[in-house]
Amino acid sequence: MIIVKNLVKSFDNQKVLDNINLKIEKGEITVIMGGSGCGKSTLLRHLIGLIRPDSGEILIAGEDITKMDEDSLDNLRKRFGMLYQSGALFNSMSVGENVALPLREHTKLDNRIIEIIVKMKLELVGLSGFEDLLPSQISGGMKKRVALARALALDPEVVFYDEPGAGLDPVSRAAIDKLIIDLSKKLNITSIVVTHEMKSAFSIADKIAMLHAGKIITYGTASEIKNSQNEVVQQFISGSPEGPLTQRRTGKEYLATLTGK
Ligand SMILES: Nc1ncnc2c1ncn2[C@@H]1O[C@H](COP(=O)(O)OP(=O)(O)O)[C@@H](O)[C@H]1O
Ligand SMILES: [Mg+2]
């Protein structure tokens, strides 16, 4: 479904993505895992064409999106759903109006039909009858579900999730994880989930790619990742404070990595 080839992107002379190669299979849940600031969101933004790489290709259904003009990208994005890290609901609009937004923006359906679709999407995420509430009246987990219902509004083939469990308690997080699995299997949606939470990654992933220092250091099923011999992967899984991820540096050495001197 999606093939990333030799993707490179730098910000301020710092290579954030350093020759990324990745294949995302249709209908599967692919988890992109890695520490804070390792470039997960940056990779995701490339996949939906919000950022253009310095070099490399991103093939979606055979077409290189890094070379597409903005109009074609807009068209392509209608086939994508995106659950942003912040959720990003409009607080002044009701739950139902938030979910209706993509339908009003991208279709000419009349109100009566939009209302029916909104009801269906809210039912999919377990929030039937919540149309008239305001975001301020519901919990963090519910807000994530509303944002997900909105991401599903246009019946996407692919849904991107950026840290779907961030800021949620363990029970709400597990509920969102279960929802991601259900939607993927029931609606045959290709899902790309960015997370740094190992428990979520192992419970939802068909495939896991671990991003570290700009590269995919390991890729495979949950059990393949658990058996990885890579020390960085093992430290990440165990959450140990000691290991290659926590090399102690002096202030001077650290400064040198920032300035390149
Ligand atoms: N638009 C940008 N301009 C400059 N630096 C950026 C930009 N976006 C991300 N970065 C930098 O790229 C690195 C990776 O960021 P990000 O992809 O948000 O990480 P993650 O999502 O894994 O936490 C960080 O060092 C961040 O400061
Ligand atoms: Mg991020």
Alpha-carbon span 95 to 159, nearest angstrom: 20
Q: What CA–CA distance (Å, rounded) separates 164 from 46?
A: 18
Ligand nearest to the CA of 85: 2
pLDDT in tens, 98-120: 999 999 999 999 999 999 999 99
Closest C-alpha to ligand 1, atom 26: 37
Mutate to test the pocket of ligand 1, among 7, 8, 11 (most ligand atoms within 8 A of CB): 11
pLDDT grade, residue 179 (50/70/90)? very high
pLDDT of residue 261: 61
* Cα–Cα nearest to 220, from 231, 232, 210: 210
Assigned superfamily of 2-79+158-259: P-loop containing nucleotide triphosphate hydrolases (3.40.50.300)
The pairing of strands 207-212 and 215-220 is antiparallel
The pLDDT value recorded for residue 35 is 87
Report domain extents, the chain. Answer: 2-79+158-259, 88-155
Supply the residue whose CA is at minimum distance from atom 20 of ligand 1: 37
Across the range 85-94, mean pLDDT stands at 87
- Ligand number nearest CA of 12 is 1
Using CB distances shorter than 6 Å, the residues near ligand 1 are 11, 16, 34, 36-42
Radius of gyration for the chain, computed over Cα atoms and rounded to the nearest angstrom? 19
**Distance (Å, whole) CA 52 – CA 42:** 10
- Tell me, yes or no, if the pTM score tops 0.85: yes
